[in-house]
Copies of this chain bind each other. A is one copy, B any other.
Amino acid sequence: MYKFAKETYKYAFNFGWEIMKQRYERLMEIRRLIGQSQISSQDELMRLLEKQGFELTQATLSRDLKYLKVAKMPDDRTGYVYVLPGKEQESRRADLATTADYGFVSIDFAQGLGIVKTLPGHAGSLAYTIDQLNAYEVAGTVAGDDTILIIPRDGVTRHDLVSLLQLKVPGLIFQPVH
């Protein structure tokens, strides 16, 4: 939804001399389409624009996207998606946990249990985060000061567990300091 209804924003770009009206309408439409749907290539976007009655080549689209500062980012669903400036964050918030500093140090396995090492004092909060995932794979956790014991359910492999954590706790493995 844009602030100006079509009728209105049509004139929002009247620079006094009928500049680039068509181009700006196209740019608006591009923003709308990208904000609304998961677009993963310029050709795909081009086809959508053509349906709307715009005529253009992919080369122009490349320039438009550059002008609009639209980024192309990897996406689990579609492979890659175009995202509007400022919207990148939102699209990453699907996961429960945020990219906070968990104090994670390492994970190891023994006796069918996962042993997570953390910085001193960080075990509790990371264990809590893991509990909050409510994941089937995790039967329960026990936290000390700098160590967490993860008890996997029967049949859950260490690999399943690592996958789960990597998927649901982004930033756990690669955690830069702010």
Contact of A88 among B68, B71, B105 (CB under 8 A): B71
A174 at the interface (CB under 8 A from B): yes
Which partner residue on chain B sits nearest A30 by CB separation? B174
A177 touches B1 (CB 8 A): yes
**Other-chain contact of A13, B67, B88, B106 (Cβ < 8 Å):** B106
Q: A residues 1-36 with Cβ under 8 Å of B?
A: 1-4, 8, 11-17, 24, 27-28, 31, 35
Number of copies: 2
Asked if A99 lies at the interface with its beta carbon under 8 angstroms from chain B, I say: yes
Assuming A2-B176, A86-B89, A92-B86, is B68 touching A16 (CB within 8 A)?
no
Interface centre among A79, A92, A176 (most CB of B within 10 A): A176
Point out residues on A near B: beta carbons under 8 Å. 1-4, 8, 11-17, 24, 27-28, 31, 35, 65-74, 79-80, 83-86, 88-89, 92, 99, 101, 104-110, 158, 162, 170-171, 173-177
Interface pairs (24), CB distance under 8 Å? A1-B177, A3-B175, A3-B177, A8-B105, A12-B104, A12-B106, A14-B108, A15-B109, A15-B162, A16-B108, A16-B158, A31-B174, A31-B176, A66-B80, A68-B174, A69-B74, A70-B73, A71-B74, A71-B83, A71-B88, A73-B85, A86-B92, A88-B89, A89-B89
